[in-house]
Structure 1
Amino acid sequence: MTALPFVGVRPRATRALRRLPAAEASERRLKRNVGLIWGLLVLNVLSFSTGVSVIPIPGSAGKVITQGALSLAVLLALMQNPRGKFRPNVFLLLLTLLALETVVTVLTVGPVKGTYYRTFRMLEFVAVLWLLSPYWNRADMLLVRCHMKAMLWVVITVVLGIMVDPNRALNGGRLQDIIWPIASTQVAHYAAVSIGIAAIMWFCGQLRGKVALWYVVVATGVLLLTHTRTALVAMLVALLFGGLSLIATPRVRRLFGVVGGATVVAFAAFSSAITSWMARGEGTTQLTNLTGRTNFWGPLLAFPRTTFQEIFGFGLSNGSFDGLPVDSNWILSYQDQGLFGVVMCAVILLYVLVLACLQSRGMRRALALFLVIYCIVASFTEDGITNPSTYMLDVTVAASLLLPAATRRQA
């Protein structure tokens, strides 16, 4: 009599054991595919400057690689999610409205050089984010880990560039990537985001101390060598708010106390060196006009435009005006997407920020706060939140952390 239940259970247990390796293999395959797709999105938004890399990469080949990465990401996302399932959420709806607005603008204003192509790529970019939405807010924070790995790979190539040719890598006194030609400001962005994510994951015990220390030390060295003030200030402000959201954690309280004391001592002992580093040899005029940025913001804002162009802009551009980079998310949004784009950018950032503040205390909230506050601070002298860029990916990762936890079926 006692053997009957055992006989009845054995086939089910055997089938479960047989399914386990297949499930694990499927999970590993999913993580690999999502990581590859996310890496292609990051590769798509990397800058490419000819004549910088130690590897003789022709300009046309560089553009094919970066721009082709997006098309490949679309293809792989469709293969990973062939039924086109998605998780409806406000953030992606707002991005979709921005993408549709660019379509309306280009059809109304008329073709400007490259505008049709950039609009199509914007639609592709948003489509990939929709196709990846079923994997948002998984228990293992898959998207965060993919983003962190992508940032780390960039930092590794920068370090390799220093080892190969330090004089070329530090050309002009500011570190740039010479393996894949990435400008100093972008290198600083990737290093700052790597530092923030690694620090918060260590705060929450999700990253071992030695691993986190290597992340932070190497990325901090890269960040300081870029001499990029925007990334440094944005990272410190964002890490402050992200850390304060975890202040109940004893490890965080102790670290904040140590860092606070060390900061006071450092400013007292090395104030002149810190001031010199921040000034970068620039005079008062250069500091007040943000290294010349504000000199042409006025002419850009005064540029004649119709009522339609004032509201909806001229369509997506290459981020420049009169041959000079705009270097401000708000000014570029007004130029490309008009007042509609400026308002939408503010709504996106405010939505993610408020949603993060309403979340319960924990690592997801801290990471989301770090990413969105970093983007808010950097947005005044960097652009890209309302068009395909690393900043858009940063905000996307922040938004993905704030969705309700994905169920097994959704994941």
Structure 2
Amino acid sequence: MTAIATIGARLAGDHGGRRVVTPQRRRRRRVQAAWGLLVVNVLTFFPGAPHILPIPGVVGKLVTQASLGGALLLALSANRPARIRPSVFVFLLVLLAAESLLASIGAEFLFGALFRAARLLLFATVLWLLTPWWTRRDLLLLRTHLMFLWVILGSVLLGLLAAPGVALTDSRLGGALWPIPPTQVGHYAAVVTGLTTVLWLSGLLRRELALISVLLAVPVLLLTHTRTALIAVLAGVLIAGLSLFTTRSRVRKSFAIGAAFFTLGALTLGSVVTTWLARGQDTEEVAALTGRRAVWESIVAAPRSTFETVFGLGLSNKSFNGLPIDSNWLGTYYDIGLAGVAIVVAMVLFVLTAAWFQPDGPRRALALFLVAYCVVASFTESGLSDASPYLLELTLAASLVYSGSTFREGVR
């Protein structure tokens, strides 16, 4: 009887009262660590932004840039021997990286452009090495992404508690411990809110946990005064919810309650919402999209050769004459030309098409939320043509609708 109990304990993962760390568990931990380092790699470090920790700019940039190398090593150690899934999306991503290398050869700032292009290629390589974990039923990559986003938001909340005056510079919430701009904080809060909501609507998350998550993330989003993130998360949740509308009674009830609250809020809090959206700007500033239109018009009017029109000027820091471009499509056109824009469009359309042919369910809804969020945000935010949180989340969407054959982890 003792022998049988011992065998049963070992099969259950209990070895003498201790939890046995199996090779599969160690591999999953390395995969999670690799994905976390990718999140760190795209975490913007602004040394000029107000923050309370004395982090030198060189150290901050070294942490973010070196994390990509660490992610590559962890991905290689987890995916051994190296096996990758065939994926049209990742092929397009590698093609985008190759096109950016071609465009960067003749760039004015050659070293910076080549460095960004090489980083994008390495970023795509790590994502390709993680494709064996795309079809896991426990949504390992998505849950890992959520976990690390909460770590970031947790640091923002700690900074708000420790130094509210620093965190709320110019009345917009940013990172006080790690200098994160309000727009990026708003992006993370919006993605956490949307993913948590869709997971709950799909029945994959307990109501108590979802409620706590939303009640913490939504105030962070509102305190950042990031209009793009708010509109994008509302659009993404709406589209994801509609994909579950006919199969989930929870979605239908939530939409009915949401419509009632929206109507009541529009009637009673219209002036408050208008003030929040205006963000202290007058009508002219809002119509000019906070100066974005002037930058966009200058990019379109700038003279270019045929080669530069097709292939671009090389990857930049997404600025034009010292001003941020703040548009994925014009930023892509400026950096890697019409060819780059076509590749990014193909990537987005591929994910949308793949989601369209997926059966109704959580994976489809989550993918639709992510791609809808990225598309809406792309009009006033840049990132789909470079290593960024948006590209990471678009890859997550592609993984959720992947329809290739599955194979067992550890055997592959």
User: Would you call these one fold, judging by a TM-score over 0.5?
Assistant: yes
- Cα shift at 1:83: 2.2
- 2:78 maps to 1:44: no
Provide the residue aligned with 1:142 in structure 2: 140
Report if the CA contact (8 A) 1:329-1:384 is conserved. Answer: yes
Rounded Cα–Cα distance in structure 1 between residues aligned with 2:352 and 2:27: 29
Report if the CA contact (8 A) 1:135-1:406 is conserved. Answer: no
Q: Which amino acid aligns with 2:77?
A: M
- Cα shift at 1:19: 6.4
- Cα shift at 1:319: 1.0
Provide the residue aligned with 1:183 in structure 2: 181
Match for 2:219 among 221, 226, 247?
221
Q: Unmatched 5+ residue regions in structure 2?
A: none
TM-score by length of 1: 0.93
- 2:375 maps to 1:376: yes
Report if the CA contact (8 A) 2:106-2:313 is conserved. Answer: no
Match for 1:131 among 114, 117, 129?
129
Q: Which amino acid aligns with 1:65?
A: V
- Cα shift at 1:20: 6.1
Report if the CA contact (8 A) 1:40-1:72 is conserved. Answer: yes
Q: Which amino acid aligns with 1:378?
A: A
Report if the CA contact (8 A) 2:103-2:315 is conserved. Answer: no
Q: Which amino acid aligns with 2:40?
A: L
* Match runs of 1:226-375 below 5 Å: 226-247=224-245, 248-375=247-374
Rounded Cα–Cα distance in structure 2 between residues aligned with 1:245 and 1:63: 41
* CA deviation string 1:75-132 (max 9, x = no partner): 1111112322100110000001001111222235575351111111111101100110
Q: Which amino acid aligns with 2:63?
A: I
Distance 1:337 1:15, change over 3 A: farther
Report if the CA contact (8 A) 1:136-1:406 is conserved. Answer: no
- Cα shift at 1:229: 0.3
- 2:87 maps to 1:89: yes
Identity of aligned residues (%): 45
Q: Unmatched 5+ residue regions in structure 1?
A: 1-9
Of 33-42 and 48-57, deviating more is 48-57
Of 109-118 and 43-52, deviating more is 109-118
Rounded Cα–Cα distance in structure 2 between residues aligned with 1:281 and 1:113: 40
Aligned to 2:285, what secondary structure does the other structure show? helix
Q: Which amino acid aligns with 1:144?
A: L
Rounded Cα–Cα distance in structure 2 between residues aligned with 1:26 and 1:185: 40
* CA deviation string 1:196-244 (max 9, x = no partner): 1111111122111111111101000100000000000000011000011
Provide the residue aligned with 1:4 in structure 2: none
Q: Which runs of 4+ in 1 moved over 4 A?
A: 13-20, 108-111
Distance 1:113 1:323, change over 3 A: farther
Of 297-306 and 383-392, deviating more is 297-306
Report if the CA contact (8 A) 2:312-2:338 is conserved. Answer: yes
Report if the CA contact (8 A) 2:344-2:385 is conserved. Answer: yes
Rounded Cα–Cα distance in structure 1 between residues aligned with 2:213 and 2:10: 39
Of 302-311 and 379-388, deviating more is 302-311
* Match runs of 1:68-79 below 5 Å: 68-79=66-77
Provide the residue aligned with 1:204 in structure 2: 202
* CA deviation string 1:46-77 (max 9, x = no partner): 11111422110000100100001111111111
- Cα shift at 1:407: 2.3
Aligned residues: 401
Q: Which amino acid aligns with 1:70?
A: L
Q: Which amino acid aligns with 1:166?
A: P
RMSD: 2.0
Provide the residue aligned with 2:192 in structure 1: 194
Rounded Cα–Cα distance in structure 1 between residues aligned with 2:248 and 2:36: 33
Provide the residue aligned with 1:34 in structure 2: 31
TM-score by length of 2: 0.93
Aligned to 1:245, what secondary structure does the other structure show? helix
